[in-house]
Structure 1
Amino acid sequence: MKLLNLIKIASRSLSKNKMRVFLTMLGIIIGVASVISMLAIGEGSRQNIEASVSSLGTNTVMIYPGSVNQGGVRMGAGSYSTLTQKDADVLAARCEYLTEVSPVVMRSSQVIAGSQNWHTMVVGGYNSYISIRSLKIESGNLFSSGDQRNAAKVCVIGQTVSTNLFGEGTGPVGQFIRINSIPFRVIGLLEKKGQNTFGQDQDDIIIAPFSTVQKRMLSGMYVNNILASARSEGDMENAKEQVTEILRLQHKLSPDDEDDFTVRSQADIANVFGSISKVLTILLASIASISLLVGGIGIMNIMLVSVTERTREIGIRMAVGAKSRDVLFQFMIESVFISFIGGLIGILFGILVSQLVARFGGWPVVITASSVLLSFAFSAIVGIFFGWYPARKAAGLNPIDALRYE
């Protein structure tokens, strides 16, 4: 029997039970929509993480005080005070794989401008800190090396700080602010960067010369961390090894001593968060796939019921010349048709759900062609797999027994 005739017979059979077909199809629709929306959320999160890691700077190498494992006790990087400005200067002079190095000190402070006040993070660094972090000046200027030497009371501020202290659209350059009662002149405004993956406002920041923050606002010789830029992405691992070697010599550590610092690269952070994002995406897609499998079980259940109800019809068709493979193909076509149409509707529904999640939930979602094709292919496979047994059962009926069936 020609394939076209089989398709016509299958479509007529399905059209007789529209509600049953729709309810069976519903499982496939929900399954495909779930897979697409979960993959969209996962892909959106992955790209958002990559963007946040990129916002750290270009080929960035980060050195934190303290080791992850200190004296047999697991500690977080930054748990100890072991890094100094001198360490940063030594790295800048000796590490051939680094192009820029800046010590970093930070303090959360209250800032006042006229009658307005705002609580923000004040960061002290060399002027190279701006380029290491890939920050850009929208208006005004960056502080100079002379400002660093003289501990000048100047700063550049982020967009959030500017808006809260001076109002929307007001130029802050040339204005004076007080940080912990110390007057500072604003000489530059940073370009807007927005929030990172962790919800931190990257525009809520004030950057001043390292010497100014350390001498006028802090006490002690230790720094929070050291930031550096490697010559290229391929040099980051070499840079990490050389930084470790130089700092061990600088800190006079013996071969048996553990590092009293932790070196991380931008690639390390990207790999960690990328792995987490990948695992979560697979987990979400796997959970969503369960509903697709349940939909497949629904198809098999309905097809088995259909075989039972149409036993006499099958017997009559075989009696007038239909072959077993014709019956097999007819029921397979019906099963695949249900999963095919359900898959198409599920794709549209999944795209709609993803857009609603992005609009009202604020989650980043990215729908890729591969996720759509994967979901559609999976639904087709489900239709073939779960339709095979009922179709095989129908094709295996004895025509005489089928005609006797009441």
Structure 2
Amino acid sequence: MNLVENIKEALRSVKVNLLRTVLTGTIIAIGIMSLVGMLTAIDGIKAQIEDSFSGLGANNFDIRSKGFSGGRGVQQGVSEKNYPIVRYKEALSFQEAFNSTGPSTVFSTVSGAAEVKRGSKKTNPNVRVTGVDDLYFNMKALKIEKGRNFSNTEVRYGNNVCIIGLDIVETLFEKNENPLNDYITVFGRRYTVVGILEKQGSVGGGSGADRAIFIPVENTSKLDANGTFRFSITASGSDPLKLEYEMGQATGMMRKIRQDRVGQEDSFELVKSQSVGESLEEVAGYLRIGGFGIGFITLLGASIGLMNIMLVSVTERTREIGIRKALGATPLRIRQQFLIEAIVICILGGILGVIIGIGIGNVVANFIGPGGFLIPWLWIFVSFGICIFVGLASGYFPARKASKLDPIESLRYE
């Protein structure tokens, strides 16, 4: 009996024992369905979010004071050189020079613990005040729900206007009051509210943008009486594929503005902003690990069930094995037949599981947010690889047991 005949005989045996094949294949299908379904849903949700935030942060980079915290840094016990912080005029000079390449925004944190007042009401001293320009909200993905953005005139002359977060509104204003064009007091100065940000939420218990006030960056420079404010720049390149080149250009521009000498290291930091896609990929990676683990446990149970059924099959077909051996079948051919049966059952179950898993995964992804139909080719190939592995692992012991049966004792088995 050659290999081709052995395959035909294994397929014939699978067809004859149809009910057993269906039940066993269903066990495998459930395991593959859970694996493919979860991974498809994760990839589908990630694709939808990336599409909603397409391009956000993908080609952004930040320029800020050396060490970001400013002053002297210590690394491996050695005190580093003290570099001057990035000043407002330097940030504006870079913005003007980089304008031909792409947009950029200049901003600075005035205080992270400010108290805001309105009449007799006041907030806790934990409000963050940031000076920004009119491009900041678009580049940082902050949406103004009510009101408007700063005008060019307000940014240029540093008018006393502000855009506030939702927590500030809820603390200082009644529900029936309209905060727009009303006044709040920060640092003893009165600011007119021109915009309200939509609710942002926060991570790790922080206040985020909901408990923040944004004022024109020129106004911030007027508050910098001692020249201690650190100004940062977020720039956007023209093309993500050219980002490294444009970051090199930006470095040259800033070195010229800062008058860094040839051979001297940069007196500022230039770092690539982590894009939304990279953040999502990191989170999706952990979700995939969890999904793969759950699917693997399900498949482990399915493989044990398959092995048990194959052992029962060996016992039921003892006389058949004896007849095959009497006709000249070698132990190798007997092992091959049972292994092929196990693999065929796993592949049939895998096909069913993949189809159902893709359907469930896309339904879940589209239920969370509307999107297209995703076919995860990678997980399909991985699933079939797992099916073959499970078939080999589950069928080897029963096949080995069948190949070692004594032909005489097998023929006498009832």
TM-score with structure 1 length normalisation? Answer: 0.71
Q: Does 1:314 align with 2:320?
A: yes
Change (3 A) 1:336 1:219: farther
SS at match of 1:369: coil
CA deviation after TM superposition for structure 1 residue 124, in Å: 0.3
Judge conservation of contact 2:34–2:295 (CA < 8 Å) in 1. Answer: no
Change (3 A) 1:9 1:383: farther
CA deviation after TM superposition for structure 1 residue 29, in Å: 3.9
- Where structure 1 has 5 or more consecutive residues not aligned to the other structure, the ranges are none
CA deviation after TM superposition for structure 1 residue 263, in Å: 1.3
CA deviation after TM superposition for structure 1 residue 53, in Å: 8.9
- Where structure 2 has 5 or more consecutive residues not aligned to the other structure, the ranges are 1-7
Percent of paired sites with the same residue? 20
The match for 2:308 is 302
Q: Which range is displaced more, 394-403 or 236-245?
A: 394-403
The match for 2:410 is 402
Change (3 A) 1:375 1:232: closer
The match for 2:5 is none
Judge conservation of contact 1:102–1:228 (CA < 8 Å) in 2. Answer: yes
Match of 2:87 among 81, 84, 89: 84
The match for 1:337 is 345
Q: Which range is displaced more, 193-202 or 123-132?
A: 193-202
Amino acid of the structure 1 residue aligned with 2:412 = R
Q: Which range is displaced more, 338-347 or 376-385?
A: 338-347
Change (3 A) 1:135 1:398: same
The match for 2:115 is 110
Aligned residue pairs: how many?
Answer: 389
Judge conservation of contact 1:33–1:350 (CA < 8 Å) in 2. Answer: no
TM-score with structure 2 length normalisation? Answer: 0.69
Q: How does 1:92-103 map to 2 (within 5 A)?
A: 92-95=95-98, 97-103=100-106
The match for 2:34 is 33
Change (3 A) 1:115 1:80: farther
Q: Does 1:142 align with 2:149?
A: yes
The separation in 1 between residues aligned to 2:351 and 2:175, in whole angstroms, is 49
The match for 1:73 is 75
CA deviation after TM superposition for structure 1 residue 403, in Å: 1.4
**Cα deviations by residue, 1:146-179 (Å, 9 ceiling, x for unpaired):** 3334432111223454344435675421111222
The separation in 2 between residues aligned to 1:368 and 1:335, in whole angstroms, is 27
Match of 2:192 among 185, 188, 191: 185
Match of 2:251 among 234, 244, 248: 244
Amino acid of the structure 2 residue aligned with 1:249 = K
**Cα deviations by residue, 1:216-267 (Å, 9 ceiling, x for unpaired):** 377524324112333444453333112211222333333343223221234x
Judge conservation of contact 2:362–2:374 (CA < 8 Å) in 1. Answer: no
The match for 1:215 is 222
Change (3 A) 1:355 1:164: farther
The match for 2:3 is none
Amino acid of the structure 1 residue aligned with 2:128 = M
CA deviation after TM superposition for structure 1 residue 313, in Å: 4.1
Judge conservation of contact 1:230–1:239 (CA < 8 Å) in 2. Answer: yes
The separation in 1 between residues aligned to 2:73 and 2:260, in whole angstroms, is 14
Amino acid of the structure 2 residue aligned with 1:94 = A
Change (3 A) 1:45 1:73: farther
The match for 1:229 is 236
The separation in 2 between residues aligned to 1:317 and 1:170, in whole angstroms, is 92
Q: Does 1:123 align with 2:125?
A: no
Q: Which range is displaced more, 289-298 or 347-356?
A: 347-356
**Cα deviations by residue, 1:254-296 (Å, 9 ceiling, x for unpaired):** 3343223221234x64686477457646654664565366346
CA deviation after TM superposition for structure 1 residue 209, in Å: 0.7
The separation in 1 between residues aligned to 2:45 and 2:209, in whole angstroms, is 20
The match for 2:4 is none
Judge conservation of contact 2:318–2:413 (CA < 8 Å) in 1. Answer: yes
Change (3 A) 1:35 1:4: closer
**Cα deviations by residue, 1:23-55 (Å, 9 ceiling, x for unpaired):** x938x7457525643674577568758867955
SS at match of 2:345: helix
The match for 1:157 is 164
Judge conservation of contact 2:63–2:268 (CA < 8 Å) in 1. Answer: yes
**Cα deviations by residue, 1:371-403 (Å, 9 ceiling, x for unpaired):** 763564245323432355334764785654421
Judge conservation of contact 2:56–2:276 (CA < 8 Å) in 1. Answer: no
